[in-house]
Amino acid sequence: MSEEKFYFQTEAAELLKMMINSVYSNRDIFLRELISNASDALDKRRIESLKNTELAENLKPEIKITADKDKKILTVSDNGIGMDHDDLINYLGTIAKSGTKEFLQAAKSGENPQNLIGQFGVGFYSVFMVADKVEVTSRKLGSDETYIFTSDGSGSYTIATTETRPECGTDVKLFLREVSDDNKNYADEWVIKGIVNKYSDFISWPVIFGDNVINSQKAIWQKPESEIKDDDYKEFYKHLTHDWRDPLMHIRINAEGSTNFKGLLFIPSVAPFDLFMNPESGGISLYINRVFIMNDCKYLIPDYMRFIRGVIDSEDLSLNISREILQEEPIIKVIRRSTQRKIFNELKKLLENDREKYIKFWTIFGKIFKEGFINDREHAKNIAEISIFRSTHDDGWTTLEEYKSRMKPDQKGIYCLAGRDDLAALKASPKLELFAQKGFEVLLMTDPVDEVILNQANFILNPDEIKLLNIAQNDITPNTDDEIKNIDEQLKNIEPEFKNLKGLVLKILGEKLEDVKPSLSLVNSLACLREPKNAMSLQMENILRMAGQDVPVQKRILELNVSHPVIKKLMELAKNNNDNENLNDIISIIYDQALILEGARIDDPAEFVKRLNNLMEKVL
Ligand code: ADP
């Protein structure tokens, strides 16, 4: 095959330009990136050779660095999985990583790219910070063909066949820039050794320079805690996850007893874009006696902890265990339980000792974590213990225990209101008014999952211990039994007076409503909407609609505040059969108001505005 010329995908080309013009101070990271890629390639080859033992013959995995100090040439080679013609185009000619896209977005939005490179890391392209030309020679496992990818980073690259590599794997050959601003010669033995020591020491494959292995290869989770610096954890996390930001925290597990295993887990400090989609860099990696077995081993951790990254290394599993039966393997189940327990404990400690950090954690991952209430009822109590919520108490967060400590002596339970993700809007809900007036605290729940939790609260949690009361239901009120009786009486008395207004409202809004009822549980608002028992909430309806589901329109009950002067006046007008031409507009507006306060869309905004303007014209 003769040489083919390609152009980098637009985004890739933009990134390359930034790399070439980079004055980023920490260029050393390019070598970390290359070694990390080589290490991944060796992991992938190992997995293939587990499936097909023939491929394992004569396998002597290594990462080899060669350098010519005078000619300023540096090569990083591996005998890993390798890349074929299409891989070179797909992996090196385009950007697949969402992290890199985020990087570009941030750079475009005015952030100085130089500050961003270190935060995001940009993988293979970082070589262009130090090299003005790169040649990648690669032969893919199972193929006889070797390809060479050449680029100077200026928008295009070429691919051609070349002399067959003796074994599968990849050589990345860098022609280092003649003049380097930082005066470092990256082909110098000491520079190389320094970088490997700093960033790649824990890589589990040998990194060879000259004839020596220059990394300790010591798995960080196997080392005693006293030997590990905080930076080591951070570097390891970055290698493992391809995330470029420091993790929020790490958790070490050292389980000894009936089952022996070690673990090193991390909680990221930002929710990766691809949290749910990228198993490549995701989840927990399983090792058996320091040998990498698989990424994203789902059985090691419950689904609602899926944002946790890390490594678990078991001494008790057999190396040739088949992936298919992993889930059923009793040892895996034991590991899972004890890992889960450890995570609960560590999060509890964090909540007790570093509230600020905990809030950061919860703001990012709380909504995922709370899925556990629904999926893991067995541990609902543990989850409840470390769940925090916003509330009407103050602007901060509260645990359920803290809420309980503030409860009034005769309070019936923990009052909760779930709604849209906008806290400020939820705080404006008419349903809170009476609770606020009477000095009762209400938890404000803004995650979609909260609604489901509230609906099933009594099944999830033991109501004798934690009783969550959803104040969206009209039988949940802050009133005492005596008050309730009294109010019921008042409402009954008002019934005849209310009848005419009800008839009028139904005539105007008829098909939109399930019913119209007088209410004494509102303070300032004129009206609110409630779901009939067992009906879907507006919030839920919105969620399902947004998810593209065909949801039938749920009719709601319109409650009118009969202690409010406006409603009182309306009752009077309706009673006297007063054919006030404004009534139609006013009633429609009251209904739309209730929808707005509920965070729902009004049916016809133009009509709403027209009615409002009509009234204004009359008043002025
Ligand atoms: P990342 O490693 O974060 O995915 P890179 O830009 O460093 O991003 O690499 C892009 C892709 O190129 C890798 O995901 C991998 O599939 C492929 N790749 C890079 N280096 C190698 C290598 N030495 N051997 C095999 N594949 C490689």
Q: What is the DSSP letter of 46?
A: H
Cα separation, 591 vs 608, whole angstroms: 10
Radius of gyration of the chain (CA): 32
20 C-alpha vs ligand 1 centroid, how far in Å?
A: 19
5 three-state secondary structure? strand
Q: What is the pLDDT of residue 518?
A: 96
Q: Is 242 in the pocket of ligand 1 (CB under 6 A)?
A: yes
Q: Is 121 in the pocket of ligand 1 (CB under 6 A)?
A: no
23 C-alpha vs ligand 1 centroid, how far in Å?
A: 24
Residue nearest to atom 19 of ligand 1 (CA): 37
Q: Is 281 in the pocket of ligand 1 (CB under 6 A)?
A: no
H-helix or E-strand spanning residue 444: strand 443-445
- Residue to mutate (ligand 1; options 37, 90, 238; most atoms within 8 A of CB): 37
112 three-state secondary structure? coil
Cα separation, 68 vs 256, whole angstroms: 48
Q: Is 78 in the pocket of ligand 1 (CB under 6 A)?
A: yes
**Residue for token digits 């213990």?**
385
Q: Is 6 in the pocket of ligand 1 (CB under 6 A)?
A: no
Cα separation, 297 vs 287, whole angstroms: 10
77 three-state secondary structure? strand
Q: What is the pLDDT of residue 337?
A: 94
Residue nearest to atom 7 of ligand 1 (CA): 123
Residues β-bridged to residue 149 = 136, 159
Q: What is the pLDDT of residue 510?
A: 84
Residue nearest to atom 11 of ligand 1 (CA): 91
Q: What is the pLDDT of residue 50?
A: 76
Angle between helices 330-353 and 355-369 (to 10 degrees): 140
Label residue 83 left, alpha or beta by phi (over 0 means left) and psi (-120 to 50 means alpha).
beta
Cα separation, 575 vs 495, whole angstroms: 12
Rounded to 10 degrees, the C-alpha dihedral 520/523/527/529 comes to -80
Residue nearest to atom 15 of ligand 1 (CA): 91
Residue nearest to atom 21 of ligand 1 (CA): 37
Q: What is the DSSP letter of 83?
A: -
**80 CA: nearest ligand 1 atom:** 24
Asked whether the beta carbons of 288 and 362 are under 8 A apart, the reply is no
Angle between helices 189-199 and 29-51 (to 10 degrees): 60
Please spell the DSSP secondary structure of 13-37, one letter per residue: HHHHHHHHT---S-TTHHHHHHHHH
- Residue to mutate (ligand 1; options 48, 77, 91; most atoms within 8 A of CB): 91
- Measured in whole angstroms, the distance separating CA 393 from the mean position of its chain's CA atoms is 28
Q: What is the DSSP letter of 520?
A: S
Per-residue pLDDT tens over the stretch 317-333: 877 677 777 888 899 99
Q: What is the pLDDT of residue 279?
A: 44
Q: What is the pLDDT of residue 122?
A: 67
Residues β-bridged to residue 251 = 265
Question: CB count, 10 Å around CB of 602?
Answer: 17
The number of C-alpha atoms within 13 Å of 374 and in the hemisphere containing its C-beta is: 16
Cα separation, 509 vs 402, whole angstroms: 44
Cα dist. 515→53, 66, 507 in Å? 71, 80, 11
**36 CA: nearest ligand 1 atom:** 2
Per-residue pLDDT tens over the stretch 378-403: 999 999 999 999 999 998 899 999 99
Q: Is 33 in the pocket of ligand 1 (CB under 6 A)?
A: yes
Q: What is the pLDDT of residue 98?
A: 55
**Residue numbers in the chain where pLDDT is lower than 70:** 1, 22-25, 54-58, 96-103, 110-122, 179-182, 272-282, 320, 421, 538-539, 542-543, 578-579
Q: What is the DSSP letter of 438?
A: T
Q: Is 238 in the pocket of ligand 1 (CB under 6 A)?
A: no
Rounded to 10 degrees, the C-alpha dihedral 96/98/100/106 comes to 150
**Residue for token digits 């049916």?**
603
List the alpha helices (DSSP H) in 74-135: 85-87, 98-108, 113-120
Contacts of 119 (CB under 8 A, 6+ apart): 103, 244, 245
Sequence-ordered strand ranges (E) for 119-198: 131-139, 146-151, 156-162, 169-176
- Measured in whole angstroms, the distance separating CA 373 from the mean position of its chain's CA atoms is 17
Q: Is 80 in the pocket of ligand 1 (CB under 6 A)?
A: yes
Cα separation, 85 vs 140, whole angstroms: 9
Phi, psi of 262 (to 5 degrees): -120, 150
Asked whether the beta carbons of 79 and 168 are under 8 A apart, the reply is yes
Cα dist. 426→364, 455, 471, 523 in Å? 20, 18, 13, 16
Q: Is 93 in the pocket of ligand 1 (CB under 6 A)?
A: no
